[in-house]
């Protein structure tokens, strides 16, 4: 049986673009998660998500691992990008789309995906 910390590390390692949020991309359950996931969806790339409301162990443990107290949290290629304010600022200045598209291209290349 793996620990919550191991599960979090595995999720972050296996998903090049990952958002820990309240709710789902289709049904966010807080305004900050809604804004962040909208900005992420506007980049046009696939991403993974974890609904922390369904995972209270992750909700409790991730802030300690990430050294980031709030949700949502956007992770790209194993690195914490930040929460709502940072993601929205990056979205507005074009950095988010560039970061997400580059991560998706690298992930597709690693999988040998010719459709990239």
Helix H, strand E, coil C: the string for the chain is CCCHHHHHHHHHHHCCEEEEECECCCCECCHHHHHHHHHHHCCCCCCEEEECCCCHHHHHHHHHHHCCCCCCEEEECCEEEECHHHHHHHHHCCHHHHHHHHHHHHHHHHCCCCCC
22 assigned ligand-binding residue: yes
84 assigned ligand-binding residue: yes
43 assigned ligand-binding residue: no
114 assigned ligand-binding residue: no
98 assigned ligand-binding residue: no
Residues in binding site: 22, 30, 59, 71, 84-85
Residues in binding site for [2Fe-2S] cluster: 30
Residues in binding site for glutathione: 22, 59, 71, 84-85
């Amino acid at each position: 049986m793996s620990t919550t910390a191991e599960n979090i590390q595995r999720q972050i390692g296996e998903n090049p673009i990952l958002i820990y949020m309240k709710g789902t991309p289709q049904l966010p359950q807080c305004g900050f998660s809604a804004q962040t996931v909208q900005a992420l969806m506007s980049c046009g790339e696939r991403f993974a998500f974890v609904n922390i409301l369904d995972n209270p162990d992750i909700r409790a443990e991730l802030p300690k691992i990430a050294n980031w107290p709030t949700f949502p949290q956007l992770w790209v290629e194993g690195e914490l990008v930040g929460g709502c304010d940072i993601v929205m600022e990056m979205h507005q200045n074009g950095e988010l789309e560039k970061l997400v598209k580059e991560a998706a291209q690298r992930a597709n290349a690693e999988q040998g995906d010719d459709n990239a």
